[in-house]
């Protein structure tokens, strides 16, 4: 057994108290370059690291860093969470009074449905503001392990709720807006907080049929990797200057991502130019341990710690690096240069956060609890919920006309929801306004009965109080679906159908023949065709996890105080979809044992398509731009080159397309302009269409118009070939406005195809050293060993 | 919506208080035949039921029966649990003092490993005694929904822990002993309590890859049904006079079992002669609702309630029958004769429990808390744990020699187990003695550190305190494995491997080179080959869920205060087994996509076979009986017929086989004599072997012998054909003693084959009426639609 196993850390691990800031005025390092604000962050970090002993350096590789007391460097906890508000195991809420609550926004899946990037920046700005206030009170850190920006590939994924949806363009745009709000502008001398794009890469299986995230090897073709799995991460690294990345639990094509230099060095740092010293990679929690077991990539514990560090993992969430690097150094498995590099990255990042600088000159260091849960923040949480909620069916009964004589029946397990409103990774919110609470604020009679349940035994006993309450009601609202009991971290779904118990109760309620509204809750979609097809059910909404004011948002839409304009950010597949493809089949295109995934490739009939969303009015659209019907590719490339663009895929494709949207009805309403590209350009198979731009227009009055300006780039037009190169092909293109579509624009590209981006190819012969005695031990379940036909590497 | 939906029940549902007994001395029915103890139970029951209105009758069909106040019939709760001690939602433990605890025995899976039928009868006698004491205090009912006697077919099953194992003969013998202890002798004028054999039939999937128990349709061939799934139920119904059956959530070959007259009438009542009026069938909780949704067998809710009642379901756990039978009667879907029959069965059963009779003459009505958790009961709980624990590996380090200078390291998440000791369906036990507690009673130094965890994030942080504790220890004991967090009701396992986290910690502990013992806990087996194959790990034990004194039992075996003699009641498959067959494939024989199941048919190499169990000594065996080497089948049948046997399969095959067992070592030890039959008689494929008898011998001293008397029957020799008939075939037979085997007996049967039991064939064209709008909606997951090659019905 190796010695020096960092027993020091034992003392720190359990603690949630936060260290004070280092003291560059009176501390031991006041004259060190570290404290010289004129020096660059990297110079300052190098000056500090050069003072560390090897043991002190190694101790700094864990997420709960002990600091170096002799140098006045306090302990630091790298792990904070801020998915939709500050949260997580290391955020310390007070029991009462100041710092006992914060603002809790909807889950990203519902905020994604808003298709409103400015909203996302505003929300993220609130989160980073509240984070700074809590940090100043020594109640959380400065590094937030958010966003989860893996595309929501399979409806079974338990953590799909944490993402904005299934479309890579949408995610790329969303995450750019989010990072801006979390980190602030690049020109700001200090970052607001550091955001962390996770989980890099190919992570979207928790626990499906024996495939645990800790051991799952995602087999992904080079084409799918570049076309689908990586665009949001490219947006983070190349285009949004995100401060941190997190490598994931899974392997990609055989290599655990935290030990994969192809992902962490070749793609992330070299190809995407993510080479600023202040940028670092953390492992997911204990993903370094998992490199040894269950992945069996490295032949020993020491080798796993070394492999991760060498590949470019700079922080180990957990203790495996501090525990096993001493022995790895003793065995010569790793050298101090690579360790220094990791530490310089860590401390450069802290410098950019103002960690070492005097608080007087830092606005963020002045923030206190008066900046937390402000009226404006609460209103923003409400607005985010309203903007995301999607109307899927309406026979005209919505919005409901209520008066004081109305008797409103409210049923379903979400009707009186509390923490369910928030979903996972939630902090303590200011309040939790359920649909029942919201209904009770109206001047109507409310009849509520608990139930129907459906997870426990028996359930029918809890149904009996529903019937007299329904008998007494004029209108029936059922709020149900799924929650974190069936979709969660570590838990993928085994069914995407409504439970029989819920459908039984819904069906009995519908038999009353009264106006009836169903609100489908939860992040992953469930097949609502039995509700859509039931003529006795008047309306159907999807409400996701709507956050602290979610019940009010739902009731305001139902009663017409607000108008719905959200769009589904994922495909609602039929229940039978999960019978047609194993969750572990990562391929997007349809194949022998795969009906295809997402609205681009699914060859079945969706219950509700990606982008679906009704309104309380009707809209028309027309394209106002003067555009050409034909473009020479060579001309497009010349213009692009003349613009000195670093990345040709970001070059504009002409001027923004102006789309005039007219509200032809009476109800004032937002409208989300979705622009898809379709056409038979490039090699078959072709996607049905691809989202290339979107813009939300606000509060268009009946009879009025507004104009969306949609930016298209050469990248919008490009497709990805089998090697992962982005290619501009000649051919016929159609720009479709909205799902129906409301209008369209056709044009042609002529001339020879051009590669916009050459993708770096993976090395060959990448095999782990293995751990003897475990051959075939950590296996997934039956029917999960299907591989896509061609694998890039 | 139907009227009269039993709103009365609403008041009762939530209650856990128990009714008083009816008063046949001064009550309104004192002169009714119900109160005439000279009349038969059925006559008494009929007299009562004839007084009921239709509404009163319908109200009596739910498990929480409201009674009939005008007749002095109090409410009655049919649902009590007693899996390994009194338990369940409707058993009301006091907060302190009397009735605040009871005796909690090991889970059946560990008691099954004892292979000691007398132990099982003794345990069940304690449970029924304690049940009566609690019932007299108005704290539980008289009807116990135990045993779960479905064979443990697939290692993933979350409720396999509730069963005695995988072998149908073993289960049949065990359940006979259990029912004797729960119900008492048939000659007793009053039953102790009523036992309920569940779940009839083919129920052994909770939630596997989208296949939920509420909607799963088990496709079972007629041969497998009779040979594997039904023998324990035949033992219950035909041979043990059990008072109740429970029909299950699943369908069998398309028909929900609670609506299946072939199972409930043709097989259970007619073929097995279970026609005593005091015998009744309850549905599993809300299994009647499930007939409508998700099974979609019946076309309406009313039809589902009617179908269940007509098929022979007499009690509906839940409220679907009381809720929907009024409308079913109004629609003419069911008549009062079948409802009367159900109620006569219910009340006849209560008569046999003495429910209506004066308490003075009933010994069971005199029992109080002095009969609960007696010293003898506590000792029995300890003895049951010791008898079940199985020694799987021992390099000679066990039993450990400890003295006051020994420093003992205790690790693993089970080391300080509390409620984990009990498993599911547990009441409140007298105490919970963990392995740590037991070690601390020894005169040694104990070094304990929590961990390693492995479900939460991160885990390595909790490992750091393990290493210094291990450094300080002379001997290391690791107690871990699985618990109800991964195997539970409603939750099948996705992996049958040890977690990577546990194997990492075990491996690091083993590197110390000290004597090290691993105790594998949990009901389902996990592949322990990495432990078995690690030369640095000295010993391996399996401890199941050992009950309130389980920690003491484990430590007593490790330290040699007790000697291990338990045998594995299930096969320990390699981890890859779950990749080779979907859990939903119900076939036992190997096939194209199935390596076969149980020790009889599995064609791979088990890690540890069914019946494995080492001792602290060695045994030899020899057969002492004078047996013939050849038997004419016609002679056997003549002898059988002359004995007036009602069931030829129960006819003895000659005199008991006497097996003399000799302890050739020094340590006094129990020995379980396992007798298997093998041979190529009957059609291929042939099982490797089949358990036909067992007997546990007690405390055989070193150098001494004892004799097992093994009863064989014609049924022991029979095989089941594809139609389900039991057939005696000519051919060569071998009786093998023990797994190795230690000795064997060969004989031949000559002449023509004879059918011992003609199995009733299912009706043809059995299809449900269906529910429109749900075609293909409730689907299982990918890779789970494989069907066995031939289906009987």
The more confident residue out of A679 and B779 is: A679
Q: Grade residue B456 by pLDDT with cuts at 50, 70 and 90.
A: low
Per-residue model confidence as pLDDT tens digits over A15-40: 334 448 999 999 999 999 999 999 99
How confident is the model at residue B785, as a pLDDT? 58
Do A353 and A394 sit in the same domain of this protein?
no
Domain identity same for B433 and B545: yes
Report the share of chain B in percent with pLDDT over 90: 91
Residues of chain B contacting residue A7, judged by C-beta atoms under 8 Å apart: 464, 467-468
Average pLDDT, chain B: 94
A460·B209 Cβ contact <8 A: no
pLDDT recorded at residue A456: 63
Q: What is the mean pLDDT of residues B326-353?
A: 98
- Residue-wise DSSP of B486-544: TSBTTB--S--BPPHHHHHHHHHHHTT-S-EEEEEESSS--B-HHHHT-TT--EEEEEE
Q: Which domain holds residue B450?
A: 388-579
- List the catalytic residues of B: 284
Contact B783 A582 (CB under 8 A): yes
Residues A496 and A417 occupy one common structural domain: yes
User: Is there a contact between B777 and A495 if contact means CB atoms under 8 Å apart?
Assistant: no
Q: What percent of chain A has pLDDT over 70?
A: 96
Task: Judge whether A732 counts as a catalytic residue.
Answer: no
Whether residue A549 sits in one domain with residue A440: yes
Say how many domains are in chain B.
3
Query: Which of A469, A467, A478 has the alpha carbon at shortest distance from B327?
Result: A467
Residues of B in contact with A531 (CB under 8 A): none
**What is the average per-residue pLDDT within B331-359?**
97
> Which residues, listed in sequence order, are joined to residue B671 by a DSSP beta bridge?
B697
Instruction: Answer whether residue B366 shows pLDDT above 80.
Output: yes
B477-518: pLDDT as tens digits:
999 999 999 999 999 999 999 999 999 999 999 999 999 999
pLDDT tens, position by position, B94-114 = 999 999 999 999 999 999 999
Region B109-121 average pLDDT:
98
Closest approach of chain A CAs to the CA of B501, in angstroms?
7
- Read off the pLDDT of each residue in B17-25 and give the average, rounded to a whole number: 76
Q: Quick one: A3 exposed, middle or buried, by C-beta within 10 A (0-12, 13-18, 19+)?
A: exposed
Instruction: Determine the residue among A4, A283, A291, A783 to mutate to test chain B binding: the one whose Cβ has the most chain B Cβ atoms within 10 Å.
Output: A783
For a pLDDT cut of 90, what percent of chain A falls above it? 91
- Chain B: nearest CA to A503, how far in angstroms? 8
Question: So what's the pLDDT on residue B457?
Answer: 67
* Same-domain pairing of B352 and B404: no
Query: What pLDDT score does A451 carry?
Result: 87
Supply the CATH number for residue B692's domain.
Answer: 2.60.40.10
Task: Indicate the pLDDT class of residue A627, thresholds 50, 70 and 90.
Answer: confident
Residue B175 lies in a domain: no
All residues at 6 or more sequence positions from A203 whose CB lies less than 8 Å from its CB, including other chains? A150, A213, A218, A248, A249, A250, A257, A284
Q: Would you call A676 helix, strand, or coil by DSSP?
A: strand
What count of residues does chain A have?
A: 793
- Write the DSSP string, B98-141: TTS-B--PPPHHHHHHT--HHHHHHHHHHHHHHHHHHHHTTSS-
pLDDT digits (tens, 9 = 90+) for B673-730: 999 999 999 999 999 999 999 999 999 999 999 999 999 999 999 999 999 999 999 9
What is the DSSP code string of B72-108? TB--EE--BB-SSSSBSTT----SSSTTS-B--PPPH
CB A410 within 8 A of CB A448: yes
Q: What is the C-alpha to C-alpha distance for residues B244 and B222, in angstroms, rounded to an integer?
A: 24
pLDDT of residue A300: 96
**Active site residue: A284, A323, A670, A738, which one?**
A284
pLDDT in tens, B32-72: 999 999 999 999 999 999 999 999 999 999 999 999 999 99
Task: State the pLDDT confidence band at B9, using cuts at 50, 70 and 90.
Answer: very low
Q: Give burial (CB, 10 Å; 0-12/13-18/19+) of A790.
A: exposed
Residue of B nearest to A527 (CA): B777
A255 and A345 fall within a common domain? yes
Find the mean pLDDT for residues B633-650: 94
Q: What is the pLDDT of residue B779?
A: 84
The answer as to whether B439 is a domain residue is yes
Cross-chain Cβ contact B209/A209 below 8 Å: yes
Predicted confidence at residue B780, as pLDDT, reads 85
Examine residue A768 and state whether it is found in any structural domain, yes or no: no
Residues B350 and B396 in one domain: no
pLDDT of res. B5: 38
> Averaged over A551-571, what is the pLDDT?
98
| Mean pLDDT for the stretch of residues B333-339 | 98
- Determine, yes or no, domain membership for A722: yes
A745 shares its domain with A626: yes
Structural domain includes residue A541: yes
Shared domain check, B574 and B453: yes
In this complex, do A464 and B9 lie within 8 Å of one another by their Cβ atoms?
A: yes
Task: Give domain status of residue A279, yes or no.
Answer: yes
Interface test with B, best of A157, A782, A784, A787 (most B CBs within 10 A): A782
Query: Are A635 and A495 in a shared domain?
Result: no
Task: Kindly state whether residues B335 and B442 are assigned to the same domain.
Answer: no
Count CB pairs under 8 A between chains A and B. 244
pLDDT at A538 over 50: yes
> Within a domain: residue B134?
no
CB contact under 8 A, A779 and B459: no
Rounded average pLDDT over A446-468: 88
Which of B579, B605, B638 is the endpoint of a domain? B579
Cβ-Cβ contacts under 8 Å for A635 (sequence gap 6 or more) = none
Q: Which CATH number covers residue A475?
A: 3.40.50.1700
B111: in domain: no
Can you give the CATH number for the domain in which A76 is found?
3.20.20.300
Q: Give pLDDT, residue B788.
A: 41
Number of DSSP helices (H) and strands (E) in chain A, helices first: 23, 28
Look at A210 and B459 and tell me if their CB atoms are within 8 Å: no
Q: How near does any CA of chain A get to the CA of B783, in Å?
A: 5
B77 lies in the same domain as B34 = yes
A336-352 helix and A301-311 helix, angle to the nearest 10 degrees: 50
pLDDT band at B6 (very low <50, low <70, confident <90, very high): very low
> Looking at the partner chain, which of A293, A500, A783 has a beta carbon nearest the beta carbon of B503?
A293
pLDDT band at A507 (very low <50, low <70, confident <90, very high): very high
Model confidence at B455, pLDDT cuts 50, 70, 90, reads low
Overall average pLDDT of the A572-600 stretch: 96
Instruction: Indicate whether this model's pTM tops 0.90.
Output: yes
Q: Give dist(CA A429, CA A427) in Å, integer.
A: 6
């Amino acid at each position: 057994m190796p010695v020096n196993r960092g027993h020091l850390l034992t003392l720190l691990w359990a603690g949630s108290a936060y260290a004070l800031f280092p003291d560059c005025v009176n501390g031991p390092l006041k004259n060190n370059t570290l404290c010289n604000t004129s020096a660059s962050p990297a110079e300052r970090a190098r000056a500090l690291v050069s003072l560390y002993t090897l043991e002190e350096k190694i101790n700094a590789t864990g997420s709960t860093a002990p600091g170096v007391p002799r140098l006045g460097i306090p302990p630091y906890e790298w792990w904070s969470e801020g998915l939709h508000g500050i949260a997580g195991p290391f955020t310390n809420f007070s029991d009462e009074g100041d710092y006992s609550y914060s603002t809790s926004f909807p889950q990203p899946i519902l905020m994604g449905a808003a298709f409103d990037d400015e909203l996302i920046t505003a929300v993220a700005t609130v989160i980073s503001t509240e984070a700074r206030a809590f940090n100043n009170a020594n109640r959380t850190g400065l590094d937030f392990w958010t966003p989860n920006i893996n595309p929501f590939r399979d409806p079974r994924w338990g953590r799909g709720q944490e993402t904005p949806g299934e479309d890579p363009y949408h995610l790329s745009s969303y995450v750019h807006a989010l990072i801006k709000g979390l980190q602030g502008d690049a020109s700001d001398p200090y970052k607001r907080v550091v955001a962390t794009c996770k989980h890099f890469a190919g992570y979207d299986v928790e626990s499906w049929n024996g495939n645990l995230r800790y051991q799952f090897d995602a087999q992904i073709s080079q084409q799918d990797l570049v076309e689908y799995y990586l665009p949001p991460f490219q947006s983070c690294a190349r285009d949004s200057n995100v401060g941190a990345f997190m490598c994931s639990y899974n392997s990609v094509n055989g290599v655990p991502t935290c030990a994969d230099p192809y992902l962490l060095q070749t793609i992330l740092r070299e190809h995407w130019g993510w080479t600023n010293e202040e940028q670092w990679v953390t492992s997911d929690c204990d993903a370094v341990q998992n490199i040894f077991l269950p992945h069996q990539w490295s032949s020993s514990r020491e080798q796993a710690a070394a492999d991760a560090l060498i590949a470019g993992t700079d922080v180990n969430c957990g203790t495996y690096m501090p525990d096993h690097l001493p022995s790895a150094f003793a065995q010569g498995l790793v050298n101090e240069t690579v360790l220094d590099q990791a530490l310089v990255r860590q401390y450069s990042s802290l410098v950019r956060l103002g960690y070492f600088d005097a608080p007087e000159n830092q606005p963020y260091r002045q923030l206190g609890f008066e900046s937390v849960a402000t009226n404006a923040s609460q209103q923003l949480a409400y607005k985010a919920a309203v903007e995301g909620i999607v109307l899927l069916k309406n026979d005209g009964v919505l919005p409901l006309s209520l008066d004081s004589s109305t008797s409103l029946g409210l049923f379903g397990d979400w009707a009186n929801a509390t923490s369910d409103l928030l979903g996972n990774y939630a902090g303590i919110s200011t309040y939790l306004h359920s649909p029942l609470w919201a209904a009770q604020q109206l001047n109507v009679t409310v009849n509520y009965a608990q139930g129907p349940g459906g997870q426990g035994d028996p359930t029918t006993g809890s149904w009996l109080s529903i019937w007299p309450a329904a008998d007494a009601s004029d209108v029936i609202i059922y709020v149900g679906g799924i929650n974190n009991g069936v979709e969660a971290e570590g838990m993928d779904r085994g069914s995407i159908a409504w439970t029989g118990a819920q459908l039984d109760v819904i069906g009995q309620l519908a038999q009353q023949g009264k106006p009836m509204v169903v609100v489908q809750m939860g992040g992953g979609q469930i097949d609502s065709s039995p509700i859509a097809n039931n003529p006795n059910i008047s309306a159907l909404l999807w409400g996701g996890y709507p956050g602290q004011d979610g019940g009010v948002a739902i009731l305001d839409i139902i009663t017409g105080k607000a108008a719905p304009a959200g769009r589904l950010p994922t495909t609602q597949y039929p229940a039978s979809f999960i019978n047609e493809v194993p969750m572990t089949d990562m391929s997007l295109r349809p194949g022998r044992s795969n009906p295809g995934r997402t609205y681009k490739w699914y060859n079945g009939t969706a219950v509700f398509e990606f982008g679906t969303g009704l309104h309380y009015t009707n809209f028309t659209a027309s394209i106002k731009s003067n555009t050409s019907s034909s473009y020479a590719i060579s001309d497009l490339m010349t213009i692009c080159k003349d613009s000195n663009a670093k990345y040709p895929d970001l070059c504009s494709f002409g001027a923004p397309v102006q789309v005039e949207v007219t509200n032809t009805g009476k109800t004032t309403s937002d409208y989300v302009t979705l622009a898809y590209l379709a056409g038979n350009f490039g090699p078959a198979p072709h996607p049905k269409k691809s989202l290339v731009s979107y813009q939300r227009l606000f509060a268009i009055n009946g009879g009025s118009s507004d104009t969306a300006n949609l930016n298209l780039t050469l990248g919008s037009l490009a497709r990805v070939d089998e090697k992962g190169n982005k290619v501009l092909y000649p051919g016929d293109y159609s720009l479709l406005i909205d799902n129906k579509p409301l209008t369209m624009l056709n044009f042609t590209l002529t001339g020879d195809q051009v590669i916009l981006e050459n993708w770096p190819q993976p090395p060959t012969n990448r095999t782990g050293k293995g751990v003897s005695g475990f051959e075939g031990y950590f296996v997934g379940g039956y029917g999960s060993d299907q591989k896509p036909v061609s694998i890039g590497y």
